[in-house]
Structure 1
Amino acid sequence: MFRPSALPAVTRVQQAGALITAELDARLRRSPDYAAENETLHALAGALTASHTAMLQTLVDTALALCDAGSAGISLREGGAGHASVYRWVAVSGRCADLVGHIIPSDDSPAGVAIAFSAPQLFAYPKRQFDCLARIVLEVTEELVVPVPGTPAPWGALWVMSHDGDHHFDSEHRRILKSLADFTCAALSIAKAKADAETRAVEAEAARNALSEAECAKDNFIATLGHELRGPLAPIESALAAAQKLAAGSPAVLSALAVANRQVQQLKRIVSDLLDASRVRHGKLSVRPAYALLGDIVKDALAAVSDEVERRRHQLHATLPPYPVTVFADAARLTQVISNLLGNAVKYTPHGGVITVQVDAPESGTIPEHDSTPRELVITIRDNGVGIAPDLLPRVFDLFAQSPSARAGAEGGLGLGLSVVKYLVNAHQGQVSISSGGEGKGTEVVLQLPVVHRSDVEHAAPTTHGIQPARILLVDDNADATEALAMLLSLDGHEVKRAQNGPEALSIVETFTPDFALIDIHMPGMDGHELARLLRERGQCASTLLVALTGYARTAGADGGSHGFDCYLLKPPSLEDLADVLRR
């Protein structure tokens, strides 16, 4: 089918008698030289591994040789998509080799006419009909042009020229050029597919890098957000504790403060989840196993949710082994796991609901004395709460995974806790699974932990804040934090001095020798490390216990005295943590 824009050129060459394609079949056909053709096709196959330009040049060299032509070339389409298309001579061989890169019209050219016919065409003296060939110095007695097929449109054309009136093209030359044109189509398709694949690979790599950068930025934001939120929480919690002491005789005030305290604890849990989730993503949430009694761990977890259980009037039933069970685990992290799961059960169970905790473990004393193989502990927590939809179950351990009903019905939460639970359980070489009959049908969580060992461990001492009065120096650039904490400690009978920077703290110790110095690490100007070093150089502070306050993950005593500190506390420090440090 003719392209309408090619009709003038087609009509012109037909009327001039320059289109002599019919003579190809009328001329005496020479015998095919299949041996030479096969050899050149092998060479072409090898050229596929070369560069795009080298491969096309090998093609035109082959066409020149097999057709015994004076010139040969490939014209490929350029432009389109809003721009007028043209043909460029991308590879040329023979007497016209210096014209590589020459551009001809897509319609008023031999290639345009051949493509308009969708078939090979033979032209006599084409220079006389097409102005685009005027740059050829030699006369062109004949030109055989074969379209190079392509999808959705032909790639262009493969052509050979004769500059000698005694050399004419025949049907065998047409057959050879059609074979080479098909090969050209395959080669160009392969090259385009390779280029497209490389482009997609580059785009995919860029997308992966962008996603990685976005994930990193998100993690950094979450970590920074958690760290920044800890700052204001510290003075709020300390101020609430102080207010509760001051309002001991006013039930109405104590009731209001209890509401505020519950909400602060909820905020602390959310902030802790944020920080723990960030540490999980970077593999920095560590466990430090030691021998402990399972009963103490479970009771601490139950105590952590007892206020909410009472407020919601839940029925909480716990069944523990009647004998002592020794575990080799990180007691604090295992308590966190159980209290987190219990907290979810409490949060997602309506008022008056039922929650059960079943603990199954072998008796430590029955394990042979020299058997160090850990036995399995199984903890099952069931509730008759809102349940989990089947489509969410496979994703419950993903970060930020929550069902719409859970978000609507629960108080707070970011969907972070279960991802932290799974990480900590895996760190104990255990497994955690969650099942539910669907929304409104409750939930069951099963923990399987190979942590039971033979060992004799005494029960932990009951927690108390009752400690001997001490001289305490608080150093923090957050004035609210130091004021609230100082008030709370003063109400417990301690003598407290406050400083908002390092130089002020150094001035205070000239006349005040603290038993303990609680120092924020990140302060403008002189930071906590520098202040600790300078305090160590003063003789009056030789016996002072230096405690670092930091918003990042370090546990009390983990530092081992490096950087001048005796131990670290995570901000905001809990009253239990402070009491533990002050007992030293």
Structure 2
Amino acid sequence: MPRTSESDALSRVQRADALVTRELDARRRRAPDFAAENEALHGLAQALNAADSVMLQTLVDTALRLCDAGSAGISLCDRDVSPPHTFRWVALSGHCAGLAGHLLPADHSPAGITLELGSPQLFALPKRHFDCLAPVPLEITEELVVPVPGIPQPWGALWVMSHDGHHFDSEHRRVLTSLANFTCAALTIKQAKADAEARAGEAEAARNALAAVETHQVEFIATLSHELRNPLGPIDTALSAAQKLAAGSPSVLSALAVANRQVQQLKRLVSDLLDASRIRHGKLSVRPTYGLLGDIVKDAMAAVAAEAERRQQQLEVTLPAYPVTVFADGARLTQVISNLLSNSVKYTPLGGEIMLRVDAPDPETIPMHDSTPRDAIITLRDNGMGIAPDILPHVFDMFAQSPSTRARSEGGLGIGLAVVRYLVNAHMGEIAVVSEGEGKGTEVTVRLPVVCRKQLEHTAATTHGMSPARILLVDDNADATEALAMLLTLDGHEVKRAQSGPEALSIVESFIPDIALIDINMPGMDGHELARRLREHAHCASTRLVALTGYAGKTLDPAGAGSGFDYHLLKPPTLEDLAYVLRG
């Protein structure tokens, strides 16, 4: 059955004389009650903070009261389709109060005709002309309907009905129009709030999803670096041992040097991944001790000297003429300087120039009882490839690289400078990078408040500060324990190996270790259980238990109470780390 158009419905209502809007202006107008309106508006303003249903109900209650009506209500149209074809009574008061939710057709209802005409309309005996009003329990003398404006289309209509012969006039129209405008404002505010909350929810969901992806990425990096360290550890220690064993064979040493150089590059990449993960977990710590700045710089120079020589680069270093004592983490400070030097070597062409200058006050000039740290300023200049202006503000961002850097085979991961800035900040220092553009070189300045008065003697760069010790290695990875055991033995230590917890317990019956290096993740009896058993063993009362782990989330600092271990170290442990553990 075809639908009746709205214009047809309007014509039929007009022919039946049901549309009597013209009488509003012909009737005697009652006097305005501004006091009642003011009180009503005050109540409506308070209702704006309530739920939608409460706010709309307050509106229709107000319309009922101010218009002396028998029923009042709000008909909202379905805004999800255009044009709308259905109205719903969403809030009702008076005799129609029980009809909330009632649906009305837009093409044959007082609200539909009112919206078609675009102005307030008065209907006489509308129940006789509109079937949709049949559920109203009483006869309807008149119904005054006012559009509720909206953008891009009206929200619907606000209406009042009389059931006892009461007639509406132009004053009722004015009041109802004001309430309809208020309804529009209220609905617009609610819609804007709902849209804002939806967008905020979407933004929060996006942030959570991004955070989850970032967390998974960091966990993947930590796991990847752990898996890479497992094979790299035995290879590195085996190479070190082989170089000591091949001391009299230049050709073998030359081949081993090539392999060692490539392994060191791999180790650096893996270490960068680990450091990135530790920064994410807040686990990248510094352990400040007293040391000589000159020794730290020389150690950093040693790390890049061979590569600079291979590239025929001129590496010029200027140090203070006097020994400078610093209170800093020597290993981390060496990492900072060697990373910056490595970047200069990597991005400076063959035969290029690299200049490193260290300025620091003479500790002798610091008053005896003055403990305030003085600044050491490290300046590094090169005439290398430089940095583009658009890249310069982002050089310290994690994984940030310029396209020209990514195009180079030895471009790295874009992690190093982020780690450098973190370590400089951990020393309460500052770092700045300046470049006039690509092809114009780079200058890096590091300012560190680490210089102090305490005097130290120079130490040999190859000394680990560790007396020969009795060491127990426990790891189910046979290659890892064999290579590390060989290196430690060549360094003068007495080493025993075990590939399981029970085997380790058997060894300590006749071998009392000074230090036990225990892999945490072993099948059967894991590292934690073995540590507990060793603690209970009478022979191991003074043994220092060190957990070995490849995961970046673990700390290099002393282990927490109740963990069973005195320290955690990353696999494979360096001789410097072992010296730190033995010194306590």
TM-score, normalisation: structure 1: 0.91
Which residue pairs with 2:110 in the alignment?
110
Which residue pairs with 2:234 in the alignment?
235
Q: 1:303 to 1:23 in 2, by over 3 A?
A: same
- The residue type paired with residue 502 of structure 2 is P
Q: 1:540 to 1:16 in 2, by over 3 A?
A: closer
Counting aligned pairs with the same residue, the percent is 72
Say whether residues 1:69 and 2:69 are aligned partners: yes
- Are the aligned partners of 1:532 and 1:564 in contact in 2 as well (CA < 8 Å)? yes
In 2, the alpha carbon distance for the partners of 1:468 and 1:96 equals 96
Name stretches of at least 5 consecutive residues in structure 2 with no aligned partner: none
- Are the aligned partners of 1:348 and 1:409 in contact in 2 as well (CA < 8 Å)? no
- Secondary structure at the aligned position of 2:462 is classed as coil
List aligned pairs for 1:205-284, cutoff 5 A: 205-245=204-244, 247-248=246-247, 251-284=250-283
Q: 1:4 to 1:398 in 2, by over 3 A?
A: farther
Q: 1:116 to 1:520 in 2, by over 3 A?
A: same
Size of the aligned set, in residue pairs, is: 581
Which residue pairs with 1:6 in the alignment?
6
Q: 1:581 to 1:369 in 2, by over 3 A?
A: closer
Which residue pairs with 1:534 in the alignment?
533
Task: Using the TM superposition, name which of 335-344 and 83-92 deviates more.
Answer: 83-92
List aligned pairs for 1:19-30, cutoff 5 A: 19-30=19-30
Residues 34-92 of structure 1 deviation map (CA, whole Å, 9 limit, x = unaligned): 33323322222222223221221222122222222221111111263389641111111
- Secondary structure at the aligned position of 2:317 is classed as strand
Q: 1:45 to 1:565 in 2, by over 3 A?
A: closer
Which residue pairs with 2:433 in the alignment?
434
In 2, the alpha carbon distance for the partners of 1:153 and 1:402 equals 52
List aligned pairs for 1:222-371, cutoff 5 A: 222-245=221-244, 247-248=246-247, 251-371=250-370
- Are the aligned partners of 2:4 and 2:107 in contact in 1 as well (CA < 8 Å)? no
Which residue pairs with 1:128 in the alignment?
128
Task: Using the TM superposition, name which of 541-550 and 525-534 deviates more.
Answer: 541-550
- Secondary structure at the aligned position of 2:104 is classed as strand
Q: 1:84 to 1:297 in 2, by over 3 A?
A: same
Give the drift of 1:485.
2.9
- The residue type paired with residue 527 of structure 1 is D
- The residue type paired with residue 368 of structure 1 is P
Give the drift of 1:307.
1.7
- The residue type paired with residue 141 of structure 2 is T
Give the drift of 1:511.
5.7
- Secondary structure at the aligned position of 2:284 is classed as coil
Residues 240-273 of structure 1 deviation map (CA, whole Å, 9 limit, x = unaligned): 2344345556544433332221121111111212
- Secondary structure at the aligned position of 1:519 is classed as strand
Say whether residues 1:175 and 2:205 are aligned partners: no
In 1, the alpha carbon distance for the partners of 2:465 and 2:320 equals 32
Q: What is the root-mean-square deviation of aligned Cα atoms in Å?
A: 3.0
Which residue pairs with 1:139 in the alignment?
139
Task: Using the TM superposition, name which of 451-460 and 534-543 deviates more.
Answer: 534-543
- Are the aligned partners of 2:517 and 2:545 in contact in 1 as well (CA < 8 Å)? yes
Residues 366-400 of structure 1 deviation map (CA, whole Å, 9 limit, x = unaligned): 11222222222111001111111111111111111
- The residue type paired with residue 154 of structure 1 is P
- Secondary structure at the aligned position of 1:409 is classed as coil
Q: 1:173 to 1:459 in 2, by over 3 A?
A: same
Give the drift of 1:412.
4.3
- Secondary structure at the aligned position of 2:160 is classed as strand
Give the drift of 1:131.
0.8
In 1, the alpha carbon distance for the partners of 2:209 and 2:177 equals 47
- Are the aligned partners of 2:88 and 2:101 in contact in 1 as well (CA < 8 Å)? yes
Which residue pairs with 2:442 in the alignment?
443
Say whether residues 1:154 and 2:154 are aligned partners: yes
Q: 1:528 to 1:404 in 2, by over 3 A?
A: same
Residues 435-488 of structure 1 deviation map (CA, whole Å, 9 limit, x = unaligned): 101111111000111221112111123415899987654321112212333444
- Secondary structure at the aligned position of 2:114 is classed as helix
TM-score, normalisation: structure 2: 0.91
In 2, the alpha carbon distance for the partners of 1:82 and 1:135 equals 27
- The residue type paired with residue 29 of structure 1 is R
- The residue type paired with residue 219 of structure 1 is V
- The residue type paired with residue 243 of structure 2 is Q
Q: 1:69 to 1:261 in 2, by over 3 A?
A: same
- Secondary structure at the aligned position of 2:78 is classed as strand
Task: Using the TM superposition, name which of 285-294 and 114-123 deviates more.
Answer: 285-294
